[in-house]
Amino acid sequence: MSRRTSTSIVAFALLVGLGILGTTVPVPVAALGRGPTYNTLDDIGGTPVVAVKTLPTYPTSGHLNMTTVGVIDRVSMFQALGMWASGDHQVVPRDSVFPPGKPAEKVNEENREQFNGSVSNAEVAALDYLRLPTSVVVGEIVAGSPSAGTLMVGDQLLEVADRPIRSVRDLHDALAGTHPGQQVGVRFQRSDLPAQDAVVTLGARADDSRQGLLGVAPLARPADDDEIVISLSDIGGPSAGLMFALAVVDKLTPGELTGGTFIAGTGAIQPDGVVIPIRGVPFKMRAAREAGATVFLVPAANCEEARSTRPDGLRLVKVEGLADAVAHLDTLRAGGTPPTC
């Protein structure tokens, strides 16, 4: 065998080896891309995405689509290069999606917990927007709290200063006219025990306000955990909250939010209705446009990114909270121009 032939065989073997490695061995990256999009006003497999148990509901139609980001793990080198070159995916370090030392199963579990939290936040935000009762519980006892030793985390607040507490707003209103050192009555329920009455001497706020301090961080929850049921399997993360909340509002109010327009969007939501930014807006917008959406609701803090990657034919609407999201949809339905990115 000649030297040239031997060299050719070795080179060919190296190319074959590199090809095998490039197509079969995962590299430490993950790919982010378009995930599925679901209409929150629709049924999936015969089960409504948003169902209301006893409250009066009204007909809905059209689309209020939540959007997702797909994650592809265990990507080979050639796959990563192809995805990067196509522009349809964002190739990122795997550690940014699956932190070192944390199994993928644990990451998926945390994503499911975030999703469940977004469902609860969406329900509370919608009920609060509609001025429907919620339960207010003690989410945290502030350090040095005047309520320490009287209230515990998880206690449901029923009355404060002779005012019924059916929302976090009610609690703020009950304390609005108080002052440090004032004694106020607190009626609360702990677990399944009978309601209890106590007297708390209000403290002083750190901001030197003259208003008295109860010293608890309130947390709102649906008054009936079974009243609103949001069902969507195999979805993780918090970013569907805004669209879930809009679906609840649409079902519990006369008229239709969509006005026949295919609307999609994204955004995590807090119990007070504030919409906060999320990741993956470019991919979510592409998926929404491909599904037929012509309007996309964008958290205000994501506007710059959305504006620079907006697909043709997709109108962006800037959203800071649930109340203005509803107002902007009302404006669209009336033929007006809501704020854009």
What is the per-residue pLDDT for 260?
Answer: 87
Residues 42 and 184 in one domain: no
26 lies in a domain? no
Q: Given this model, what pLDDT does residue 210 score?
A: 84
**pLDDT computed for residue 15 by the predictor:** 39
User: Quick one: pLDDT at residue 111?
Assistant: 75
- Residue 295 is part of which domain span? 32-130+225-333
Q: Give the count of domains, the chain.
A: 2
Per the domain annotation, does 206 fall within a domain?
Answer: yes
Answer yes or no: do 236 and 306 share one domain: yes
Give a yes or no: residue 179 inside a domain: yes
What is the pLDDT, as a whole number, of residue 144? 87
> Is the sign of the CA dihedral 176, 179, 185, 187 positive or negative?
positive
pLDDT at 13: 38
Does residue 329 share a domain with residue 229? yes
pLDDT at 94: 62
* Residues 174, 51 share a domain: no
pLDDT given at position 81 = 56
The verdict on 241 and 329 lying in the same domain is: yes
**CATH at 233:** 3.30.230.10
Final residue belonging to a domain, choices 197, 222, 247: 222
Q: What is the structure's pLDDT at 85?
A: 58
**Would the pTM count as exceeding 0.85?**
no
Q: What is the dihedral of CA 159, 161, 166, 168, to 10 degrees?
A: -130
The CATH number of the domain where 184 resides is what?
2.30.42.10
Question: 120 and 38: one domain?
Answer: yes
Does residue 236 share a domain with residue 120? yes
Mark the ranges of the chain whose per-residue pLDDT is less than 70.
Answer: 1-33, 70-99, 102, 104, 107, 208
pLDDT of residue 90: 63
* 325/229 same-domain check: yes
